[in-house]
Structure 1
Amino acid sequence: MDLIEIALVLLVLLTVLLAGGVWIAIALMACGYAGMLFVGGSVPPGGVLATTVWGNSASWTLAALPLFIWMGEILFRTKLSEEMFRGLAPWLNRIPGRLMHVNVLACGIFGSVSGSSAATCATVAKIALPELKKRGYDENISLGSLAGAGTLGILIPPSIMMVIYAVQANVSIIQVFLAGFLPGFLVMALYSGYIAIWSLLHPEKTPPPEPALTFREKLRESAQLIPTMLLILLVFAALMFGWATATECAAWGVMGSLAIAWYHGMLSWESFFLSVMGATRVTCMIMLILAGASYMSTSMAYTGVPQALATWVGHFNLSPYALIAALTVMYIVLGTALDGISMIVLTTAVVIPMIKAAGFDLVWFGIFVVLVVEMAEVSPPVGFNLFVLQTMSGKDSNFVAKASLPFFFLLVLAVAIITVFPSIVMVLPRLAFPA
């Protein structure tokens, strides 16, 4: 049996296991074990499983993962979500689209401290949807902008997805974090631009502006956001100027989050325990998936399947742009059936050799992967943000999916822009880490 046939057998096995409801981590380990059987008796599958899982789990780099998750869990239980709308709304009253821009800005701010798309979407939607509906804003564009902007939780650093990709691709977490800033602002600008244009084209669906506030009144309304913004700036500055590693920044972020929770009077033993347990559950789920993925990756390396697939794709002589277009379509298709973490851990071992051969920077490719994972979050039938908004709005899945469609295409446009102009992604990592 040649290597392509082995790859097809393992793909069919993985598909059958996932379709049968087997946990993703267990399915990955089973496929890795099957791959080791193809290698022959010279390599013990059980021994490789034990050493691979331990070697990839006992990582100082991965220590940042539970800390960033815990940081988001702590802030999720403060008054940040309640103060977000109140603090941002006064500054947007004269911009076309007005308070609908709060969805984009609030998701950008909360996403930078939560690192989770689902948490960002759910938190901002819980506050923004009732407020926008009460003020008479169009529900279609409100839901669509929340579905799209909710994905900023995995693009604007610190991001759980970025940590997972950096570990899988063996690149610097700090460089991937820095690379995400400008693309994050680009996506926010595209979203806000679309909202402004839509509002100008449909003035009848936008309520009249609210009474103007003085500059001092605006500052008073936004005062509660200052501690969180200072925490974000501190984490960003520490990463940008190399004052601390990603793991150390995560630790400082947790300390800052606890201080903010105490400042808001929300730090109690109950909230502390709930934040620890929430972070523990999410971390265990992700670490188990990573353990399965690392075993499967090691198994693939023994079989030689990734190199064979890369060589097979290379025979098509695709240009770099054609390769990126093909991978974009592939990830969009995967996004209809898999969550973002699974997409990264299942494909990295196979795709990285192709990307290296095409001459793309692996840090740049990390941002590309995060953007296409964002597309998956708003792609039916398994787009998680669509599920969140469907539950919170009471609308059916078709309504929410249709509302989010323009923002899905804006993400496609963002991928095209960073592909044509890769310096948007790479300028900050190169400034911080000159060659």
Structure 2
Amino acid sequence: MDVLIAAALIVLLLTLLAGGLWIGLSLIAVALIGMDLFTSRPVGDSMMLTIWGSTSSWTLTALPLFLWMGEILFRSKLSDDMFKGLAPWLDRLPGRLLHTNVVGCTIFAAISGSSAATCATIGKITLPELKKRGYPDDIAVGTLAGAGTLGLLIPPSIIMIVYGVAADVSIARLFLAGVVPGLLLGLLFMGYIVVWALMNPDKVPAAEASVSLGQKIYASRHLIPVVSLIALVLGGIYSGVATPTEAAALGVGGALLLAKIEGSLNWVRFKDGLVAACRVYCMIGLILAGAAFLTLAMGFIGLPRHLAEFIGELNLAPFSLMLLLVIFFIALGCFLDGISMVVLTIAVLLPTVQAAGFDLIWFGVFIVLVVEMAQITPPVGFNLFVIQGLIRREVTWIARTALPLFLLMMAAVLLTYFVPEIVLWLPGRMQG
């Protein structure tokens, strides 16, 4: 019965999305119908309380601030300066400036801790520049969609905090555990760009004139404003002086100051940047509200709990259990955001996971990797929606461009399973 309910709701969601209904409204509609047909809960009160609660969180304030910071960088010379500083170093690599997607997302992931903020901010900076320089849209968008997920894995990560609380494990050790897999995943993405570029040399714009080491170092002066801004935000977070939300506000102030110093800030650009950030955040906020209400509906119906209990009763071997959990969490990603997946399932799954002999720190990183995969899996791949809001292309097209990155994430999951020290080595150093 649960399988039939889940299938019916997936078909309904796909139908609404195919009909052109806004993504957030489609999620709300599916939740409304699911709760009304399959539960006895008061739908109206539940919807109002959930939507208000999901959109009025103080922690969520960091997201629009980081989006605004990205809009300021996008409208100033700072984004162009970032390319000028990185280009001499990346121009000899196969794929050239496509690597800025991965490098930029890796750096910004350490600032925001949010996949949506990372994807939207870096996308605003890199996609127009790459298009202007003649790089193909599909590889530029696909690598952004994949690299944007690093916001979940590289600390600070909100989903790791939620898992740490739910599983009663050290959040500091979880953060350390995410560093090496996060950098490894970034290298895998860059490796994919290299392979793609070697197989499609005619699609990569010609390299600029060769420059000496001294010229490269001199060109790096263009990175000083961006690096200073990153240091301001990261320094605020890791020194304990500022919370992520306060650090995001510092980032906005720093971006405005830098734009003013370089002479690219005026009233029109200030207003346009603020309006654009509000527009993108309203799109993301409506999706968040719809996802929160759908999560509540799924919880009342009992689908995540029943599925988790079913997995626990199968008594599978560790490798088979790991593969089934990958499928399970990606399927849940059709309905739920990553944090909701952890909250609704972890208490039920932990006894099974511990009985199979999985280290709980390793399992936390495993969950984050699988949730990253769900971020670029339709129909409810959150990064796909964020990029759709930036470029106005079909979600299915964006998903196709991101498929190779999805497969690389699956390879990373298998690699961490067979070589768990990739995850556990750095936390082990802390323990010692």
Q: TM-score, normalised by structure 2?
A: 0.72
Distance 1:116 1:416, change over 3 A: same
Secondary structure, counterpart of 2:82 in structure 1? helix
Identity %: 37
Matching residue of 2:278: 280
Secondary structure, counterpart of 2:211 in structure 1? coil
**410-419 or 258-267, which moves further after superposition?**
410-419
Unmatched 5+ stretches in structure 1: 134-138
Q: In the alignment, does 2:291 pair up with 1:290?
A: no
CA positional deviation for 1:225 = 1.2
Q: Distance in 1 between matches of 2:183 and 2:107?
A: 11
Q: 1:291-329: per-residue Cα shift (whole Å, max 9, x none)? A: 222223233333333211212233333445434434545
Distance 1:298 1:384, change over 3 A: closer
Structure-to-structure mapping, 1:18-97, within 5 angstroms = 18-37=17-36, 43-92=41-90
Contact kept, 8 Å, 1:149 with 1:191, in 2: the verdict is no
Q: In the alignment, does 2:146 pair up with 1:151?
A: yes
CA positional deviation for 1:52 = 2.5
Matching residue of 1:136: none
Matching residue of 1:231: 229
Q: Distance in 1 between matches of 2:20 and 2:303?
A: 26
Secondary structure, counterpart of 1:313 in structure 2? helix
Structure-to-structure mapping, 1:203-352, within 5 angstroms = 210-215=209-214, 217-326=215-324, 328=326, 344=338, 352=346
Contact kept, 8 Å, 1:36 with 1:303, in 2: the verdict is yes
Secondary structure, counterpart of 1:33 in structure 2? helix
CA positional deviation for 1:414 = 2.6
Distance 1:329 1:365, change over 3 A: same
Q: 1:334-359: per-residue Cα shift (whole Å, max 9, x none)? A: 99xx7xx9764886666545654435
Contact kept, 8 Å, 2:35 with 2:297, in 1: the verdict is yes
Matching residue of 1:371: 372
Secondary structure, counterpart of 2:76 in structure 1? coil
Q: 1:353-396: per-residue Cα shift (whole Å, max 9, x none)? A: 5654435557525531453146549xx9x96799899999xxxx
Contact kept, 8 Å, 2:153 with 2:182, in 1: the verdict is no
Contact kept, 8 Å, 2:65 with 2:249, in 1: the verdict is yes
Give the letter aligned to residue 124 of structure 1.
T
CA positional deviation for 1:74 = 1.8
CA positional deviation for 1:194 = 4.9
Q: How many residues align?
A: 413
Report the RMSD for the aligned CA atoms in angstroms.
4.9
Give the letter aligned to residue 147 of structure 1.
G
**53-62 or 194-203, which moves further after superposition?**
194-203
Give the letter aligned to residue 142 of structure 2.
A
Q: TM-score, normalised by structure 1?
A: 0.72
Contact kept, 8 Å, 1:156 with 1:180, in 2: the verdict is no
Q: Distance in 2 between matches of 1:170 and 1:225?
A: 38
Distance 1:177 1:236, change over 3 A: farther
Contact kept, 8 Å, 2:152 with 2:368, in 1: the verdict is no
Unmatched 5+ stretches in structure 2: 355-359
